[in-house]
Structures are given as structure tokens and as C-alpha cells.
């Protein structure tokens, strides 16, 4: 039985959708190859801001899904795109790691370290953050700098449990500055999917976003106006999906991405 239509563009979440940790989801490689053979464009997206696009492209390729760097979108890249569209070579005070620095510098941002120099504060996941740097970012926000965020995830799941992520630092900044972010690039916000569609040259009506998380992937797809598929190879169960209100249901529920073809 084949009831799935062919879309022009496919946006794939990574962990839980195409692979689990270091293990390819069985058949995901053939699925992506088949979609490409049929003329569809594909993009691979992730909120995670601590690895570079090169790293993800290499990992996918190694797992049997050949991926070009240009087919990988991370939340730092989506934020850099947004900044490039709204600012000219701004001074940015960043709490984040090297992959974020690289994406920001690639669009002309100058990374600064003092609050008074900052036009923009970018909050990301930074595993070496100190109170001094947290406070410098707070002072910049007090001074009126724009408040941008790569990804809103409060925690990141790992094999041993969870790690605190960028969203936890956002909560800290909200608490002391009494401000909310002006822009958040990562899922569930639509920017990642919008940048993906723009790069594929496809419309939301002709694009499907496939992911395993209801609160991030599914919402991102809906916010961007794409068709949505939730796969059951990651964190969400059929019961979780059935508990959603009618207007939040995905277009497709799939045992795995293999059912896309
Ligand atoms: Mg996932």
C-alpha cells in the first residue's frame, strides 16, 4: 500500500528520526535515496548548537545518507540568516560555542565581550559559561541590546539522562532582565523550516517535515505551514499523539521514515 504523496521538499529532524544516537534507523538511508531519485529535495535540521554543520553532514554520510554541508541546517545557521537579514555587521555578545561563533562571523557579525559594545545578545548553549559572562549579557540586555536565541530547549536528552541546554540560560536572562527574547531561531519556532524551504526553493504546501517530537518538530512544521509527519522511532508514542487536540494532529503518523516511500 502506498498512500503517501510525493512532496517537492522534505525536512528531516535527525536524532530519533534518521538515527538513534550512533545507529541509523533501519531503511532511512534507502528512504532518503528514493526520495532524491524521485526528484525531491531534502534538508536535515537540528536545534542543537554545539556541533557544526560539517559534523552533521559527515555523520549522516557515514551512516549511509550522503549529505552536503549545504543540506544541513542548525539553529545557529537559522539565527545567522535572520541577523544577516535585519542587521549590518552588528556587534554581538554571545553565550555560545564555536559552531555559533562561526555561523555568526560568516554573516559579518563581530563578536564583542563588553556589554556596552553589544547591539545584540545571542543566547545559546555554552558549556563553559561563567557568572561574569552571564552578567555581562544581562547588562547588555539592560542597556537595550536585542535578545536573540539559537534554540529554546531547556534540556538536551543524552544516554545518561539530560543536560541543561540553552533554554535554561534564556530563563535566567528572562528572570533578571524581565525581558522575553526578540527572536528564537530553533524549533518549535518556524525559522529553521522557513530557511530550509527557502534553500530548497519549495513552498510550504509542497513540503513535509518529519520528526519525532511533538513539542518541537510537529509544532515547527505547523508554524511554518508545512505538512507534518511524526515518526514513532523517537520519543513520541501513538498515545502521545492521540492525546493532542484535533487541530494539533500531524498529517501523518509513521512507524518510521521508511513509510514515506
Ligand atoms: Mg528528534
Q: Ligand 1 centre and the CA of 156: distance in Å?
A: 11
Would you state the pLDDT for residue 241? 97
Q: Establish if 154 belongs to a structural domain.
A: yes
Would you state the pLDDT for residue 17? 97
Mean pLDDT of 42-66: 98
Q: Indicate the residue among 117, 151, 184 that finishes a domain.
A: 184
Q: Indicate the residue among 116, 151, 184 that finishes a domain.
A: 184
Q: Ligand 1 centre and the CA of 99: distance in Å?
A: 20
pLDDT band at 158 (very low <50, low <70, confident <90, very high): confident
Mean pLDDT of 94-112: 98
Q: Establish if 103 belongs to a structural domain.
A: yes
* Mean of all residue pLDDT scores within the chain: 97
Would you state the pLDDT for residue 159? 80
User: Which among 122, 168, 178, 113 has a CA at the least distance from the CA of 146?
Assistant: 122
Mean pLDDT of 58-67: 98
One-letter-per-residue 3-state SS of 114-156: CHHHCCEEEECCCCCCCHHHHHHHHHHHHCCCEEEECCCCCEE
Q: Ligand 1 centre and the CA of 152: distance in Å?
A: 14
Domain with 172 in it: 88-184
Q: Ligand 1 centre and the CA of 159: distance in Å?
A: 14
Q: How far is it, in rounded angstroms, from Cα 64 to Cα 240?
A: 30
In tens, the pLDDT along 209-253 reads: 999 999 999 999 999 999 999 999 999 999 999 999 999 999 999
pLDDT band at 169 (very low <50, low <70, confident <90, very high): very high
Q: Ligand 1 centre and the CA of 233: distance in Å?
A: 9
Q: How far is it, in rounded angstroms, from Cα 62 to Cα 252?
A: 28
Would you state the pLDDT for residue 2? 53
Grid coordinates belonging to 184: 528564537
CATH code: domain of residue 124: 3.40.50.1000
Q: Ligand 1 centre and the CA of 129: distance in Å?
A: 26
Q: Ligand 1 centre and the CA of 119: distance in Å?
A: 33
Q: Establish if 13 belongs to a structural domain.
A: yes
Q: Ligand 1 centre and the CA of 182: distance in Å?
A: 25
Lowest mean pLDDT among 3-7, 246-250, 256-260: 3-7
* 94 and 179 part of one domain: yes
Task: Name the domain count of the chain.
Answer: 2
* 96 and 40 part of one domain: no
Residue 254 has pLDDT above 80, yes or no: yes
* 193 and 221 part of one domain: yes
Residue 152 has pLDDT above 80, yes or no: yes
Q: Establish if 58 belongs to a structural domain.
A: no
Residue 1 has pLDDT above 70, yes or no: no
Exposed, middle or buried, 166 (CB in 10 Å: 0-12/13-18/19+)? Answer: buried
Amino acid at each position: 500500500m502506498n498512500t503517501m504523496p510525493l512532496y517537492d521538499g522534505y525536512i528531516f529532524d535527525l536524532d530519533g528520526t534518521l538515527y538513534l544516537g550512533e545507529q541509523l534507523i533501519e531503511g532511512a538511508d534507502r528512504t532518503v535515496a528514493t526520495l532524491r531519485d524521485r526528484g525531491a529535495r531534502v534538508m536535515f535540521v537540528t536545534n542543537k548548537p554545539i556541533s557544526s554543520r560539517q559534523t552533521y553532514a559527515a555523520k549522516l554520510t557515514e551512516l549511509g545518507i550522503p549529505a552536503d554541508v549545504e543540506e544541513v541546517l542548525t539553529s545557529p545557521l537559522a539565527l545567522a540568516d535572520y541577523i544577516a537579514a535585519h542587521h549590518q555587521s552588528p556587534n554581538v555578545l554571545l553565550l555560545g560555542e564555536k559552531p555559533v561563533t562561526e555561523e555568526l562571523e560568516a554573516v559579518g557579525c563581530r563578536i564583542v565581550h563588553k556589554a556596552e559594545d553589544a547591539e545584540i545578545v545571542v543566547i545559546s548553549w555554552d558549556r563553559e559559561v561563567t557568572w561574569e559572562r552571564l552578567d555581562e549579557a544581562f547588562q547588555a540586555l539592560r542597556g537595550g541590546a536585542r535578545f536573540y536565541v539559537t534554540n529554546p530547549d531547556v534540556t538536551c536528552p543524552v544516554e545518561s539522562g539530560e543536560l541543561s541546554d540553552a533554554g535554561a540560560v534564556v530563563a535566567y536572562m528572562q528572570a533578571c532582565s524581565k525581558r522575553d527574547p526578540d527572536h528564537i531561531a530553533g524549533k518549535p519556532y518556524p525559522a529553521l523550516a522557513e530557511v530550509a524551504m527557502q534553500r530548497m526553493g519549495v513552498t510550504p504546501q509542497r513540503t513535509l517535515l518529519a520528526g519525532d517530537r511533538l513539542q518541537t518538530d510537529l509544532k515547527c512544521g505547523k508554524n511554518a505551514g508545512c505538512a507534518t509527519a511524526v515518526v514513532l522511532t523517537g520519543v513520541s508514542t501513538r498515545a502521545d499523539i492521540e492525546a493532542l487536540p484535533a487541530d494539533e494532529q500531524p498529517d501523518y503518523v509513521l512507524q518510521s521514515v521508511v513509510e514515506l516511500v
